């Protein structure tokens, strides 16, 4: 008899928890029935909140080449020692002058430690995402995700909208990528010669 009572009690608990779950679902469905919950991505644009951690923005004109961001970065790059790589020279006034600033988005975890380390707000939180879709070759070659300061300075800041459509606006597809041009480790000399020939042909035309 007590076994039957126990079973009925268990069934009662189960039914009650099921009904509680259904009540929550029904309540939320009714409450938010007018609000669209699903975005047909990528056909529809996703608008992220302003504090979304998107691609970093770099302001070269503010950078004092202190390298604090590079030191703060905890992640090694896919092809370089650090996710951030800074190249500089000492100018005529004995001050460091920035030559190039790279962020490897193949390894960056968007922790923003570099943003916190920067004393002059040269690195800022950004809004854009889907960086790999900006350059389709990045799906097959992660070095295509090494962004130079040319791209980083064009990224939207976090207060701006950061969808892929806007990212396209900021980094046009036909723009050569700084990283691919400047790093050049995997460049095929034959290909280089051919492209040089093509460009000189185009110039003469």
Beta carbon nearer to ligand SF4, 31 or 86: 86
State which residue, 113 or 154, has the beta carbon closest to ligand SF4: 113
CB 38 within 8 A of CB 71: no
- What gap in Å lies between CA 170 and CA 82, rounded to an integer? 25
Tokens of 91: 């100018």
Shortest distance (Å) from residue 23 CB to ligand SF4: 43
Q: CB of 85 within 8 A of CB of 108?
A: no
Q: State CA 27 to chain mean position distance.
A: 37
* Torsion angle defined by CA atoms of residues 171, 143, 182 and 170, in that order, rounded to the nearest 10 degrees: 10
Among candidates 171, 124, 125, which has minimal Cα distance to 147? 171
Rank residues 153 and 187 by Cβ distance to ligand SF4 and give the closer one: 153
Distance of alpha carbon 58 from its chain centroid, rounded? 13
Nearer to ligand SF4, 43 or 115 (CB): 115
- Nearer CB in complex with ligand SF4: 112/168: 112
The pattern of x and - marking residues 58 through 97 that bind ligand SF4 according to CB under 6 A reads: -----xxxxxxx--xx-x-------xx-x-----------
For 7, 23, 139, 150, 192, the CA distances from 104, given in Å and listed in that order, are: 60, 48, 14, 13, 23
Q: Which of residues 102-161 bind ligand SF4 (CB under 6 A)?
A: 103, 108-114, 117-118, 120, 122-123
| Nearest distance, CB of residue 151 and ligand SF4, angstroms | 14
- If you compute the radius of gyration of the chain from its CA atoms, what whole number of angstroms results? 26
Please count the residues of this chain forming the interface with ligand SF4, following the rule CB under 6 A: 26
Give the separation between CA 43 and CA 143, rounded to whole angstroms.
28
Residue 137 beta carbon to ligand SF4: minimum distance, rounded to whole angstroms? 21
Least CB distance to ligand SF4 at residue 80 (A) = 11
CA 16 to CA 13: how far, in whole Å? 5
Q: How far is the CB of 155 from ligand SF4 (least distance, A)?
A: 13
For ligand SF4, give the closer residue by CB, 16 or 62: 62
Task: Give the C-alpha separation, 176 to 99, whole Å.
Answer: 18
In the window 6-65, what residues touch ligand SF4 (CB under 6 A)? 63-65
Instruction: List residues binding ligand SF4 (CB under 6 A).
Output: 63-69, 72-73, 75, 83-84, 86, 103, 108-114, 117-118, 120, 122-123
């Amino acid at each position: 008899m007590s076994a039957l009572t126990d079973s009925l009690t268990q069934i009662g608990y189960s039914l009650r928890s099921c009904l509680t779950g259904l009540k929550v679902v029904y309540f939320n469905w009714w409450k938010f029935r007018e609000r669209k919950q699903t975005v047909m991505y990528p056909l529809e644009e996703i608008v992220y909140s302003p504090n979304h951690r998107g691609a970093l923005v770099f302001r070269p004109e503010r950078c004092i080449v202190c390298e604090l961001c590079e030191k703060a970065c905890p992640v090694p790059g896919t092809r370089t020692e650090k996710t951030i790589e800074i190249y500089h020279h000492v100018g005529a006034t004995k001050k460091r002058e920035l030559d190039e600033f790279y962020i490897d988005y193949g390894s960056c975890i968007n922790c923003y430690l570099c943003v916190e380390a920067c004393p002059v707000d040269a690195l800022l939180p950004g809004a854009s995402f889907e960086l790999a879709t900006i350059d389709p070759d990045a799906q097959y070659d992660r070095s295509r995700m090494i962004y130079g300061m040319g791209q980083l300075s064009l990224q939207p800041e976090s207060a701006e909208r950061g969808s892929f459509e806007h990212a396209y606006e900021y980094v046009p597809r036909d723009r050569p990528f700084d990283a691919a041009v400047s790093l050049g480790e995997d460049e095929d000399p034959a290909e280089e010669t051919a492209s040089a020939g093509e460009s000189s042909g185009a110039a003469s035309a």
